[in-house]
Structure 1
Amino acid sequence: MCKACDYTIHGHQSHFGWDNSLVPAERVAPGSTILFHCHDSSAGQLGPGSVLQDVIDLDFGKINPVSGPIYVEGAEPGDALKITLDSFAPSGWGWTANIPGFGLLADQFKDPALIVWEYDAQTMAPAMWGSQARVPLKPFTGTIGNALAEPGHHSVVPPRRVGGNLDIRDMGVGTTLYLPIEVAGALFSVGDTHAAQGDGEVCGTAIESPMDVVLTLDLVKGANLRTPRFTTAGPVTRHLDAKGYEVTTGIGPDLMAGARDAVANMIDLLCATRGMSAVEAYMLCSTCGDLRISEVVDAPSWVVSFYFPRCVFE
């Protein structure tokens, strides 16, 4: 157990959906620091020795487990839960997959694919992708949220107004996240830890990696947030910026179409300049490339850009 932690939530204290009738794993006072043992998003169905068939055989009823829920004493609807992300203890391995039917370009990439990563959990040195690429690592939690007011079971996959599967890369050490509370106690859970991800997570997976997460929970009374907000402790792309970027664009009246075009154009560029297969380029983009809305004011066309960090190849 973390010496500075008030509670530990073990891996078996997890669930696969938001449900405000779940029995809390713990009841804690505001200001408590908690250690969570978080599964990877496959709930252990994929591991260091996994092969392609394991992707094909995935049970999608056991995807994105979250550890918890935590009942925070005094939390009431209309308050905000203040979450300070204190530390991550990575496992040293992870996986990235193309899962048929999932991802920004699912209509173009219909076959399963899998990459299993190893990395140094102590130094967090960039993770090797074969002999060509080294992806800088930045641990964070992909799924972090409170229970919804609506009764019943709700899928953990889509993001929601109370958090959930946000997949925001900047939910790393030092970030303070504020989540709307809709039920007494908040019923907070966390999981889906990643070793690295690009903004957009374009193929649908990052470097999915089990980790221990330490965070502190507090309350902001009467905050009346409509959606999550967060504050970062400093720069958010320093781990990628050193060598600049290759950038492709998508231009037109539809932002989603622009995003698809920008990513597809980067895949074409990586295939042409690096000799990669298209699905390899797609998965690599998901772990370290960033989708950005460059402008939405020059009607009738908007610009979406995809930034791929040159440091991955240098």
Structure 2
Amino acid sequence: MCLKCDFTIHAAQHHFGWDNSFTPVLRTEPGRSIAFECNDASAGQLTAASTTADVATLDFSLINPVTGPVFVEGAEPGDILKVSIHGFTPSGFGWTANIPGFGLLAEQFTDPALKLWTYDARTLDPALFSDIARVPLKPFAGTIGVALATPGLHSIVPPRRVGGNMDIRDLAAGTVLYLPVEVPGALFSIGDTHAAQGDGEVCGTAIESPMNLTLTLDLIKQTPLETPRFTTPGPVTRHLDGAGYEVTTGIGPDLMEGAKAAVSRMIDLLCAEHGLSATDAYMLCSVAGDLRISCIVDKPNWLMSFYFPRIVFD
């Protein structure tokens, strides 16, 4: 899988949630490169043969498996775990779903929906959504983190001060991520790999796709860090910028309501201009569009913007 990696951790070596009592699947010195095999976010419950009916029966106790954990020798509370992400080997299969009760507009989209994707894992050419839309790809890991000091099992779903399900699309090849260490060995895990996602992941899923990845784990000793930070190797939206954007807004005293309004208005625009169903437009927004805070200083109203890349329809 990786000729230059010191270790490989297979997809069967995964867990659900964060718990500092989990037994490490690997103990390694800092500076070693590791290959990880990662399952998709459904842990294989959704496959190329799945139908929309399978979305309604998902077992949420099996959502977002992460491969690991890895014990890094010498890691102590107060250290930083430096994660250098080298690259991804995608599978060519993915899925996007509207899961009832989940997502920014869950009250509006109450029925399950499923989009199955195939894409060229070698070239990463834009993936076909329909005969009028295709999505540029940018593989990354949605869930990446270390164990909490607080004992017990903690849900994998929300992001945390030690990382976790952050769903930041820029945690891609070349990015260096810094995570605060809270327990001896750090207990690092990674998974929830995506072929593409918009900022905000508004319907709750991206192009969820199993894939392999390689990274190096290093330590920065006794340098307290409150929450994750990262450095990118260059521009982060070049794959989407080429044809400009359509942008809708939401304005008001509540950021969440503004976010919902901006996304809803983009869904309306995509339906009107391209003949998409509302559900298809919602899922397309999740995998390709970016939700942004454009103004948060001019009270009493804040402004949210939703950017949708026109390149999807070129």
**TM-score scaled by structure 1?**
0.99
User: Which segments of 5 or more consecutive residues in structure 2 lack a partner in the other structure?
Assistant: none
Shift of 1:54: 1.1
Q: Look up the match of 1:229.
A: 229
In 1, Cα distance between equivalents of 2:233 and 2:83: 13
The alignment's C-alpha RMSD in Å is 0.5
Partner secondary structure for residue 195 of structure 2: strand
Amino acid of the structure 2 residue aligned with 1:209: S
Q: Look up the match of 1:76.
A: 76
Q: Look up the match of 2:19.
A: 19
Amino acid of the structure 2 residue aligned with 1:251: I
Cα deviation digits, residues 46-74 of structure 1 (max 9, x gap): 01121111111111110000000000000
Amino acid of the structure 1 residue aligned with 2:278: A
Q: Look up the match of 1:127.
A: 127
In 2, Cα distance between equivalents of 1:164 and 1:219: 18
Matched, 1:56 2:52: no
In 2, Cα distance between equivalents of 1:290 and 1:280: 16
Partner secondary structure for residue 116 of structure 1: strand
Q: Look up the match of 1:28.
A: 28
Amino acid of the structure 1 residue aligned with 2:231: T
The within-5 A match list for 1:131-170 is 131-170=131-170
Cα deviation digits, residues 164-201 of structure 1 (max 9, x gap): 00000000000000000000000000000000000000
Q: Look up the match of 2:263.
A: 263
Amino acid of the structure 2 residue aligned with 1:186: A
The within-5 A match list for 1:1-314 is 1-314=1-314
In 1, Cα distance between equivalents of 2:190 and 2:91: 17
Total equivalences in the alignment: 314
Cα deviation digits, residues 201-229 of structure 1 (max 9, x gap): 00000000000010000001111000000
In 1, Cα distance between equivalents of 2:100 and 2:56: 9
Amino acid of the structure 1 residue aligned with 2:248: T
User: Which segments of 5 or more consecutive residues in structure 1 lack a partner in the other structure?
Assistant: none
Amino acid of the structure 1 residue aligned with 2:158: P
In 1, Cα distance between equivalents of 2:40 and 2:55: 14
Cα deviation digits, residues 204-256 of structure 1 (max 9, x gap): 00000000010000001111000000000000000000000000000011111
Shift of 1:130: 1.6
In 1, Cα distance between equivalents of 2:212 and 2:75: 25
Cα deviation digits, residues 82-106 of structure 1 (max 9, x gap): 0000010000010000000000000
Partner secondary structure for residue 152 of structure 2: coil
Cα deviation digits, residues 116-174 of structure 1 (max 9, x gap): 00000000000001201010000000000000001111111100000000000000000
Amino acid of the structure 2 residue aligned with 1:223: T
Tell me which stretches of 4 or more aligned residues in structure 1 moved more than 3 Å.
none
**TM-score scaled by structure 2?**
0.99
In 2, Cα distance between equivalents of 1:265 and 1:246: 11
In 1, Cα distance between equivalents of 2:2 and 2:305: 42
In 2, Cα distance between equivalents of 1:160 and 1:299: 29
Partner secondary structure for residue 196 of structure 1: coil
In 1, Cα distance between equivalents of 2:40 and 2:46: 8
